[in-house]
Amino acid sequence: MKIFLMKIRSVKRIVTWLYMPLLLVACTKGGDLTSSNSCVYLLSGDGDAAQLVPALAHKGTAVFSGWLDEDVRTVTATVSWKDLWETNVTDTIKSIQVWGPAGAGTNGQLLTSSALQSTNATGSYTFSLSGKNELGKKGIIGLTESNCYYLISTSLNPGGIVRGQINAELQDTSGPASNLSKSIVFNPGNKTTLKVGDTTSIRAIVLPMYTTSKTINWSSSNPAVVSIDATGWIEARGKGLATVTATAADGTGVKADLLINVDMQLKPLDRTGWTVTVSSEKASDGGGKDAILDGNFNSWWHSMWGPDAPLPHWLLVDMQNEKEVAFVQVYRRSANQDTKTVMLELSSDGVNFRTMGALSDFDANSSASLAFFPASTRYVRLTITASNRPPFANITELNVGAYQ
């Protein structure tokens, strides 16, 4: 039975932090260097195969996410990719490349090319760029002006199987150096799933970068599971979950939390006795609302049609008592993939709900999932806000999981 499928994707990481003299203490805006203490940019970019391999336009997607800190000329980023080739194709990722702005008749400067030997059609990779050689003035200006791009090269497609533009969004602007901290952001490449005995460094940034103090105080909610020193270096000491907290040292109380998982697995909860209520249903089409809990992928809930019930549609699951959950997974029909976006909400009383996020990235198994900090809840509400064939929607199975 294929309930509660999770892909554990290997993540190869290279985190290189080269601290060096401040060669550039400026903020790049519109290609000009203007005086300030520093600037931090959020980098992001969706990539696909359409530009490079038109025949694969329906496959091959990638996402670039990371940070540019002009103060130390450092980029730390993660590239995640999905379905780069069909299941009957054998290919190997050879490199992930980041290119600078292209001039007339040129391909631009190759900022980095990280060598890989990955045969995973779906996965991710974390890397960093530091220093003058990798991030010169043109490279920094190109990144801040959203003129750089990345691509993934494979054995069968050495010129690139996916490509995407890297967009930059300024996270702080120039201001007086006496300003206090406003937020703390964790580096997207931090490793959060460990085995007992593993050690790693947790990185975070205090924003804005021109604050008087950029010092972070570190703490762990469970030192028996994860210990952390004053520099952010952690050690996995025992099986369990621990929250690492980064607190700004300037007395503002600004902090951020990061959940660390040591040898814990997400497993589905027993659904016996759970009940479901819905906004509408066509019970003769798939079996009705209870089908989402029966473990049978040949039955399903379908929104009312003839007459058609309008979007949005909702399903409310009562687990009968309070449970600590950390994962929700839904399946839509593999034949009629109507369901497109599902908003997830949790509640302890069935009246006051908190939004956990959206499930929209359905995989080849017609499954979408969302993991989050463990939360105590009794009710799980799914609200379908978008359809691939509006206003129709369907769900075959729902799983709710917890760390064990």
Domains in the chain with CATH codes:
40-171 (2.60.40), 183-264 (2.60.40.1080), 275-403 (2.60.120.260)
Name the pLDDT band for 160 (thresholds 50, 70, 90).
Answer: confident
Q: Is the pLDDT of residue 33 over 50?
A: no
Mean pLDDT of the chain: 82
Compute the distance between CA of residue 336 and CA of residue 300 in angstroms, rounded to an integer: 11
Q: What is the pLDDT of residues 251-303, one digit of tens each?
A: 888 999 999 999 999 899 999 999 999 999 999 999 999 999 999 999 999 99
Lowest mean pLDDT among 150-159, 176-185, 337-346: 176-185
pLDDT for res 176 = 46
Residue with the bigger pLDDT between 209 and 347: it is 347
pLDDT for res 54 = 62
pLDDT for res 279 = 97
Q: What percent of the chain has pLDDT over 90?
A: 44
DSSP calls for 343-364: EEEEESSSSSEEEEEEE----T
pLDDT for res 174 = 47
Mean pLDDT of 170-190: 69
pLDDT for res 209 = 64
What totals of helices (H) and strands (E) does the chain contain, helices first? 2, 29
Q: pTM for the complete prediction?
A: 0.56
- Residue 335: strand, helix, or coil: coil
Q: Give long-range contacts, CB 8 A cutoff, 24+ apart: 276-283.
A: 276/301, 276/315, 276/316, 276/317, 276/318, 277/315, 277/316, 277/318, 278/313, 278/314, 278/315, 278/316, 279/303, 279/309, 279/312, 279/313, 279/314, 279/315, 280/304, 280/309, 280/313, 282/306
Q: What percent of the chain has pLDDT over 70?
A: 82
Residue with the bigger pLDDT between 343 and 40: it is 343
Residue with the bigger pLDDT between 138 and 368: it is 368
pLDDT for res 103 = 59
pLDDT for res 5 = 36
Lowest mean pLDDT among 39-43, 101-105, 265-269, 337-341: 101-105
Q: What is the pLDDT of residues 181-230, one digit of tens each?
A: 888 888 767 889 999 999 998 988 887 766 778 899 999 999 999 999 99
Q: What is the pLDDT of residues 60-109, one digit of tens each?
A: 788 888 888 776 677 878 888 888 888 788 889 999 998 887 755 566 78
pLDDT for res 9 = 32
Name the pLDDT band for 23 (thresholds 50, 70, 90).
Answer: very low
pLDDT for res 235 = 95
Compute the distance between CA of residue 17 and CA of residue 19 in angstroms, rounded to an integer: 6
pLDDT for res 172 = 57
pLDDT for res 168 = 87
Mean pLDDT of 17-37: 32
Q: Compute CA distances 311 → 187, 338, 350, 362, whole Å.
A: 37, 12, 21, 19
Mean pLDDT of 324-344: 94
